[in-house]
Structure 1
Amino acid sequence: MKKEKVIPIDSLDLVDLYIRVSTTEQALEGYSVAEQEHRLRQYCAAMGHRIHKVHIDAGFSGASLDRPGIKETIKDVQKHLIRRVIVWKLDRLSRSQKDTLIMLEDVFLENGCDFISMMESFDTSTSFGRAIVGILAAFAQLERENIKERTMMGRQARLAKGHYNGSRPPLGYSFIPGSNDLQVDPYQAAIVREIFKLFLSGISINAIARKMEEKYPTVRTWNNTMIRRTLKNPVYIGKVNDNGILRDGIHEPLISEIDFQMANAILVHNSKIKKQSCRSRSLLTGLLYCGDCGARMHPRRIARGYPLRRYVCYSVSRTSKSMIKSDHCTNRLHPYTQEELEQIIIDEIKKLAADEDYISEVIRNSSAEAPADDTELFQERIEELNRQTDKLLNLYQIGAIELDQIQERLAALKQERESLTAAMKESQTKTDINMDHLKIMSYASAFQVALESGDPEYTNSIIRLLIDKIVVLNEDIEIHWTFC
């Protein structure tokens, strides 16, 4: 038999008043703390209730019970210090149906405490009042969902029009008073431009973070993540991010698009080569491809105990099964040692730094040799592979050929189709960086400085801004420049 709760005699007419208001409600709907308290005190005076405490949650949402005021109210109920809890409206207690019912059943009624909502004119001392609470709680939750939906729709509409929608302005901006629209903060904007300038000059993210901490310790908490987030934030080129879609913003950009693209290209390249190029003795690791089978090339000793090394195709060296592209690669005869091949590439980059006419010639030759549309060529070959596959399957279905006779051919067609699909996707998503001649010459000059400084990370970052890949077939070397 359930033990009845013992209510102290002196608490029989004591009540707690609970008041909650969010900033939006106070501003738009007049649910101010003072207004609620005034009305509740008038109600208690009319009904002869003595007020024990007034618990207030100002600026808190009703979506959860994680509020200091409601927690203190619950403590008073559980200690049997009061007989009633009174609110102005039900949704002041909670906008969650589940939380409302839990409070009603497991807190108030469990401890012999009644709950009264003044505006809805009911209390839980009657069975009808308890039923009404459940119904109204459902409507309170419905209103909460509607508010959430309206908020989301408003956010999407603002983004579509180019308005910034964050709760805090990014570095370099402040909010225009009375709105969430951005205006340039001249002091912070200069810091953002300095970060991009340092990064594009070859300074590492670690070094930039240390420098910012020394110069501007009170502006932000500086670390690698902060610097990287700044470099990747499209707001600095006048964009707003709408669930992955970049839209033109109405705010003023701080960085040119070319500098932003360059910075992010360096970040992408650094990420790809972090485990191999920066720790490798090879200048060209990750850039070299076999002109026969398409596999990557890597440096290996010419013979055991022999100091010289050559770049060798993985299909020839067979040191990594996952990197092998063919069992019959013929690219075995190129005469260049590692040092000689790297010097050839270095000399080509030096020409870019010294001769603007040479840059024009490179671009002109590359344009003449490039296929009209790589994507179209990929698609044509994939369609041809699909036709061959369909033909083999049709022959099998009509009984003209056995399955074991075509399985090997089907597997080969599938492997080629998957390789082409991956290559087409890589071609379509590759960052398109358009550089003018002066920009090309400046990066070529920076490469020479990096090479002389002996900084492998800086050197690898710069060379990958200029070269997309290098194809080697025996004695032939073909450089694919990023600006062509």
Structure 2
Amino acid sequence: MKKEKVIPIDSLDLVDLYIRVSTTEQALEGYSVAEQEHRLRQYCAAMGHRIHKVHIDAGFSGASLDRPGIKETIKDVQKHLVRRVIVWKLDRLSRSQKDTLIMLEDVFLENGCDFISMMESFDTSTSFGRAIVGILAAFAQLERENIKERTMMGRQARLAKGHYNGSRPPLGYSFIPGSNDLQVDPYQAAIVREIFKLFLSGISINAIARKMEEKYPTVRTWNNTMIRRTLKNPVYIGKVNDNGILRDGIHEPLISEIDFQMANAILVHNSKIKKQSCRSRSLLTGLLYCGDCGARMHPRRIARGYPLRRYVCYSVSRTSKSMIKSDHCTNRLHPYTQEELEQIIIDEIKKLAADEDYISEVIRNSSAEAPVDDTELFQERIEELNRQTDKLLNLYQIGAIELDQIQERLAALKQERESLTAAMKESQTKTDINMDHLKIMSYASAFQVALESGDPEYTNSIIRLLIDKIVVLNEDIEIHWTFC
């Protein structure tokens, strides 16, 4: 239960007089200290108030509460030494509406002290005085909303001009003294470049986080989220994020756009395959597809009690109902054990590491077609859907049609528009991750190192940088490389 504030009996009739005057006001308007004190003492005599103290701020502006006299007045109120505080005019207390409200609500009323302004007949002990406090509070709220709106407008204007907006600089940068603009921190910038280099060389996010924690324990709190956020942050290619819209920033980039796009394409690729394959001991889990029905393939023992395993189509094994694609799959005859099939793929990757001409041959023989950019088609259809929606709403507004007659059609248009918007966004985020020969050879070499290290997570991560999927139909094997 909240305790009621107890006011000492001795203070029930005591009042503080507060007087403020600036030099300009005294010269132009005659608000002298002596004149104010004379009138306030006359008022107290007429009303029967006993004066506790007179607090004077001579030569102080009313724009701030940083005044010795008002601070002493506040102390008296908080110690419950007085029952009332009296001023000659309301603006003697403060010329700031916000400060006035703070004094009324958080100092005077909070401590059971009334406030009286003699010239305006303003007295918080009356119902009218309390109503005025409510009005002041409403205006103060309006001012806070206006400040918030102006702040937001200023933020948007800064972003539109390429200025960074944030309370803390991202890794690799520091704030230019006196502003929120970014300048390169050479030491941290080298760490950012190292993170991208490690990731593009096939090192997993987990391994990078551990490495950063070992080398730079005091720079940041290193974890998977921190590494992933760094790899996704467009500030490193000289961009600022304006509510999802990337704008050219005025700061210096740390990473080339090619490396940034490559890293984010790999993140997207890895997110699609999730961690299913990484958790499996089988090298090709998540990459193998049946050439007949299109279902995934998984490792399974050839026979009970028999140690050898081979990759089998889910439509054939029927071990997972959700993975079955056909009731009549014919892909039952491929002769490879799990070990043999994996070794075939390993040998193909080793060729990439050893022979640049072989890479060229693989690319020439690839039948993969370049991805089609459907963004323009999506946009045209969305615009058409918007036009149809506008026509229906216009017919409704002029009374030519009832709302229940168009609700179903409007819902269908909205659903199609949302589907197209999602498809267009996905199409735009698909990044071409074509690699040059040196990059392919470096990945292939890293794969061999991963195999020798015995780290299954590292090995699975590297192989998925090179191979998109593998299609097996009986004895035929078709590798779909990511760089073709």
TM-score, structure 2 length as denominator?
A: 0.69
Query: Residues 468 and 480 of structure 1 are in contact (CA less than 8 Å); yes or no, is this contact kept in structure 2?
Result: yes
Over 3 Å counting, the alpha-carbon distance change for 1:359 and 1:416 in structure 2 is farther
Distance 1:375 1:316 in 2: 39
Distance 1:49 1:399 in 2: 71
Over 3 Å counting, the alpha-carbon distance change for 1:181 and 1:400 in structure 2 is closer
Q: Secondary structure at the match of 1:95?
A: coil
Deviation track 1:100-122 (CA, whole Å, cap 9, x = no partner) reads: 99997899658642246899994
Name the stretch that deviates more: 211-220 or 58-67.
Answer: 58-67
**Displacement of 1:30:** 24
Over 3 Å counting, the alpha-carbon distance change for 1:5 and 1:427 in structure 2 is closer
Distance 1:472 1:435 in 2: 25
Over 3 Å counting, the alpha-carbon distance change for 1:467 and 1:396 in structure 2 is farther
**Displacement of 1:378:** 13
Q: Secondary structure at the match of 1:277?
A: helix
User: Is 1:413–2:402 an aligned residue pair?
Assistant: no
Over 3 Å counting, the alpha-carbon distance change for 1:354 and 1:48 in structure 2 is farther
Distance 1:449 1:394 in 2: 66
Deviation track 1:217-270 (CA, whole Å, cap 9, x = no partner) reads: 443333443333323322112222222333322211112233333444454555
Over 3 Å counting, the alpha-carbon distance change for 1:339 and 1:118 in structure 2 is farther
2:233 corresponds in structure 1 to: 233
**Displacement of 1:460:** 0.8
Name the stretch that deviates more: 375-384 or 139-148.
Answer: 375-384
Deviation track 1:390-426 (CA, whole Å, cap 9, x = no partner) reads: 9999999999999999999999999999999999997
Distance 1:26 1:436 in 2: 80
Distance 1:303 1:61 in 2: 93
Over 3 Å counting, the alpha-carbon distance change for 1:447 and 1:91 in structure 2 is farther
Deviation track 1:355-405 (CA, whole Å, cap 9, x = no partner) reads: 223222322333565686799999999999999999999999999999999
Deviation track 1:75-118 (CA, whole Å, cap 9, x = no partner) reads: 99787455357999999999999999999789965864224689
Over 3 Å counting, the alpha-carbon distance change for 1:62 and 1:7 in structure 2 is same
Over 3 Å counting, the alpha-carbon distance change for 1:210 and 1:349 in structure 2 is closer
**Displacement of 1:442:** 1.0
2:37 corresponds in structure 1 to: 37
Q: Secondary structure at the match of 1:319?
A: coil
Over 3 Å counting, the alpha-carbon distance change for 1:271 and 1:367 in structure 2 is closer
Query: Residues 356 and 441 of structure 1 are in contact (CA less than 8 Å); yes or no, is this contact kept in structure 2?
Result: yes
Query: Residues 204 and 461 of structure 2 are in contact (CA less than 8 Å); yes or no, is this contact kept in structure 1?
Result: no
**Displacement of 1:166:** 0.8
Q: What are the equivalent positions in structure 2 for 1:79-94 lying under 5 Å apart? A: 80-84=80-84
Distance 1:295 1:60 in 2: 82
Distance 1:300 1:331 in 2: 15
Name the stretch that deviates more: 96-105 or 60-69.
Answer: 60-69
1:206 corresponds in structure 2 to: 206
Over 3 Å counting, the alpha-carbon distance change for 1:93 and 1:233 in structure 2 is farther
Distance 1:319 1:28 in 2: 95
Over 3 Å counting, the alpha-carbon distance change for 1:51 and 1:317 in structure 2 is farther
Over 3 Å counting, the alpha-carbon distance change for 1:383 and 1:88 in structure 2 is closer
Query: Residues 258 and 434 of structure 1 are in contact (CA less than 8 Å); yes or no, is this contact kept in structure 2?
Result: no
Name the stretch that deviates more: 22-31 or 462-471.
Answer: 22-31
Distance 1:251 1:213 in 2: 27
**Displacement of 1:443:** 0.8
Q: Secondary structure at the match of 1:7?
A: coil
Alpha-carbon RMSD: 9.2
The structure having more radius of gyration, on CA atoms, is 2
Name the stretch that deviates more: 96-105 or 257-266.
Answer: 96-105
Name the stretch that deviates more: 215-224 or 470-479.
Answer: 215-224
Distance 1:19 1:387 in 2: 67
Distance 2:201 2:195 in 1: 10
Query: Residues 440 and 466 of structure 1 are in contact (CA less than 8 Å); yes or no, is this contact kept in structure 2?
Result: yes
Distance 2:469 2:264 in 1: 18
Name the stretch that deviates more: 383-392 or 113-122.
Answer: 383-392
Q: What are the equivalent positions in structure 2 for 1:89-104 lying under 5 Å apart? A: none
**Displacement of 1:476:** 2.6
Deviation track 1:408-450 (CA, whole Å, cap 9, x = no partner) reads: 9999999999999999997775443131121111111111111
1:310 corresponds in structure 2 to: 310
Over 3 Å counting, the alpha-carbon distance change for 1:279 and 1:410 in structure 2 is farther
Query: Residues 95 and 140 of structure 1 are in contact (CA less than 8 Å); yes or no, is this contact kept in structure 2?
Result: no
Name the stretch that deviates more: 177-186 or 410-419.
Answer: 410-419
**Displacement of 1:129:** 2.2
**Displacement of 1:157:** 2.3
Over 3 Å counting, the alpha-carbon distance change for 1:453 and 1:75 in structure 2 is farther
Q: What are the equivalent positions in structure 2 for 1:44-443 lying under 5 Å apart? A: 80-84=80-84, 112-115=112-115, 122-268=122-268, 271=271, 275-366=275-366, 429-443=429-443
Identity %: 100
**Displacement of 1:171:** 1.4
Name the stretch that deviates more: 205-214 or 134-143.
Answer: 205-214
Q: Secondary structure at the match of 1:367?
A: coil
Query: Residues 467 and 481 of structure 2 are in contact (CA less than 8 Å); yes or no, is this contact kept in structure 1?
Result: yes
Query: Residues 282 and 299 of structure 1 are in contact (CA less than 8 Å); yes or no, is this contact kept in structure 2?
Result: yes
Query: Residues 210 and 222 of structure 1 are in contact (CA less than 8 Å); yes or no, is this contact kept in structure 2?
Result: yes
**Displacement of 1:288:** 1.4
Deviation track 1:26-73 (CA, whole Å, cap 9, x = no partner) reads: 999999999999999999999999999999999999999999999999
Q: Secondary structure at the match of 2:57?
A: strand
Query: Residues 234 and 241 of structure 1 are in contact (CA less than 8 Å); yes or no, is this contact kept in structure 2?
Result: yes
Over 3 Å counting, the alpha-carbon distance change for 1:383 and 1:12 in structure 2 is closer
Over 3 Å counting, the alpha-carbon distance change for 1:276 and 1:122 in structure 2 is same
Over 3 Å counting, the alpha-carbon distance change for 1:237 and 1:117 in structure 2 is farther
Over 3 Å counting, the alpha-carbon distance change for 1:135 and 1:451 in structure 2 is same
Name the stretch that deviates more: 174-183 or 84-93.
Answer: 84-93
Distance 1:410 1:332 in 2: 50
Over 3 Å counting, the alpha-carbon distance change for 1:357 and 1:2 in structure 2 is closer
**Displacement of 1:183:** 1.0
Q: Secondary structure at the match of 1:116?
A: strand
Distance 1:59 1:364 in 2: 87
Query: Residues 96 and 141 of structure 1 are in contact (CA less than 8 Å); yes or no, is this contact kept in structure 2?
Result: no
**Displacement of 1:143:** 1.5
Over 3 Å counting, the alpha-carbon distance change for 1:143 and 1:249 in structure 2 is same
Distance 2:424 2:279 in 1: 30
**Displacement of 1:280:** 1.4
Q: Secondary structure at the match of 2:480?
A: strand
Query: Residues 33 and 58 of structure 1 are in contact (CA less than 8 Å); yes or no, is this contact kept in structure 2?
Result: yes
**Displacement of 1:477:** 2.2
Distance 1:353 1:23 in 2: 85
Over 3 Å counting, the alpha-carbon distance change for 1:106 and 1:144 in structure 2 is closer
Name the stretch that deviates more: 432-441 or 75-84.
Answer: 75-84
Query: Residues 18 and 70 of structure 1 are in contact (CA less than 8 Å); yes or no, is this contact kept in structure 2?
Result: yes
Query: Residues 201 and 443 of structure 2 are in contact (CA less than 8 Å); yes or no, is this contact kept in structure 1?
Result: no
Distance 2:34 2:135 in 1: 28
Over 3 Å counting, the alpha-carbon distance change for 1:378 and 1:441 in structure 2 is farther
**Displacement of 1:25:** 23
Query: Residues 91 and 140 of structure 1 are in contact (CA less than 8 Å); yes or no, is this contact kept in structure 2?
Result: no
Over 3 Å counting, the alpha-carbon distance change for 1:86 and 1:354 in structure 2 is farther
